[in-house]
Amino acid sequence: MSKHRKKFRDMMAKPGMIIAPGAGTPLDARLAQQAGFEAVYMSGYAAACVRYGVPDIGLLGYGELESTVRAIRQVTDVPLIVDCDTAYGDIANVKRTVEGMESLGAAAIQIEDQIWPKKCGHMDGKFVEPRDVAIRKVKAAVASRSDKDLVIIARTDARGPLGMGEATERAKAFFDVGADIVFFDGPQSLDELKQICDLNLGPQMANMSESGLTPILSAKELEEIGFKLTIWPSTSARVAVRQVSEFFKHLKATGDSRPWLDKMASLGETNKALGLDDVRAFENNITK
Residue pLDDT, tens place only, 74-128: 999 999 999 999 999 999 999 999 999 999 999 999 999 999 999 998 988 899 9
Paired with 155 in beta bridges are 112, 183
Sign of CA dihedral 213, 62, 39, 13: positive
Distance CA 175, CA 237 (A): 31
The SS3 assignment for 96 reads helix
At a CB cut-off of 8 Å and minimum separation 6, what does 48 contact? 24, 54, 55, 56, 59, 60
CA distance 80 to 116: 24
Mean pLDDT of the chain: 96
**What does R_g of the chain's alpha carbons equal in angstroms?**
20
Q: Which of 213, 288, 227 is nearest to 15 (CA)?
A: 227
Per-residue pLDDT reduced to its tens digit, 140-185: 999 999 999 999 999 999 999 999 999 999 999 999 999 999 999 9
At position 155, the amino acid (one-letter code) is R
Distance CA 23, CA 26 (A): 7
Q: At what angle do helices 164-176 and 131-144 cross, to 10 degrees?
A: 30
**What are the b/e assignments for 164-198, b being 16+ CB within 10 Å?**
beebbebbebbbebebbbbbbbbbeeeebbeebbe
Domains of the chain, start order: 3-241 (3.20.20.60), 257-288 (no CATH)
Residue among 162, 219, 166, 159 nearest 191 (CA): 159
* pTM of the full structure: 0.96
